[in-house]
Structure 1
């Protein structure tokens, strides 16, 4: 690492994650100019990180040095989600995929359809044609209700659902924060620390609902072969995470926007990615 120009700085105070997220291209160009190199060292997500701005060098790294690399998603997100199929590769990923596919057979998907249709119909009926629509927020709320209803059996007419929904958002914020858990007296916690606390509460809720056997989907996950207790809970955490609704909301918002252009319909969109 000493051969790479640049500096990782000190933990936390030297982190450059915000600069990167604000403008990745400007960040890359600024450091390449400062180091006079297309490969440089900086601190990202509070970890010493080598940035590569050369396709030739990147190809060399992936081809000749892949055996020395770790799975990056697991390194940055593993503590937030725990072990699950998202961070698995090779034979482990193949095995988990083979196990989990039994949750999504045509028969199973058909049984989920009623819940999805009910939630979509209810959400559409609440729309006011005279109001400006925040498409992304609408789809995120819709997808959140679908995921928590399908995979955890929540009833969104109950107060508990709003509390759990907020926990999933707090949990998600840990992914887009510097991975440092600090909690000092009379001082605010870091977003990462709050995310870990939210994860703990969500896992407690998941375990409680499994014990109460109040919904069939957690029981279906329990019944899958070769899944240990932690893997069952971690996969239910992944299925009910804000990660899935956010991804769906982005796709649906882009789709509706493009359809609006095709049909030459004027639609007011307000984007909010908080």
Structure 2
């Protein structure tokens, strides 16, 4: 085999060997990098010349069939993905005829007179136990009885269409032309009085009439009665004349009894 020396005295063969070794080193480095990428689920293509400047590298996520794997969860995706929708539905509003989100009011069972109270018969007497309302009641005065201390009955009639109940003391005020007097209550314990439609109950006013020289006069003209639990009153004409005023007394001789007395 012929050997040819280069101008500087080096062997062409030696130079060829050095070039081959350099190519091997470069090619080995490129292959090592490709193995690293392949280990990360990548795809690497290297040109036949082993040049790193012409190497084309592409990587894609691993999946079956060569397609990217997709999430099976229900989380919403961004970048053009569609958000998952709730399968729940809003609570339906009962009796919401006009669609304003509010019902049409709770119906009161057995509310015959439309006052917002039912006519439930808790004690089994055949009548309802809702409170009597002033608007469904009428008042009248009975006959005065007694001499030194007198009694005036006040009769109450249920004008409503259903039974109702009164329990407690009524509010009783005497009015003069320029003054008022709220009567004290007796010591009797009140009992519930259930009143059928058209039925009656009542209470009694006890009072001391005024006589000249007996004390301070209260010239009563009007009687104002407020049923228990109510704020609306009825006004009646007072029939008893002047009353001995004892509104500051500890045990006055003028007072009212409870309903049913």
TM-score range with shorter-chain normalisation?
under 0.3
In proportion to residue count, which structure has more helix? 1
- Highest RCO, 1 vs 2 (Cα 8 Å, sep ≥ 6): 1
Under a length normalisation based on structure 2, what TM-score does the superposition of the two structures give?
0.20
- Greater radius of gyration (CA): 2
- Structure having the higher strand fraction is 2
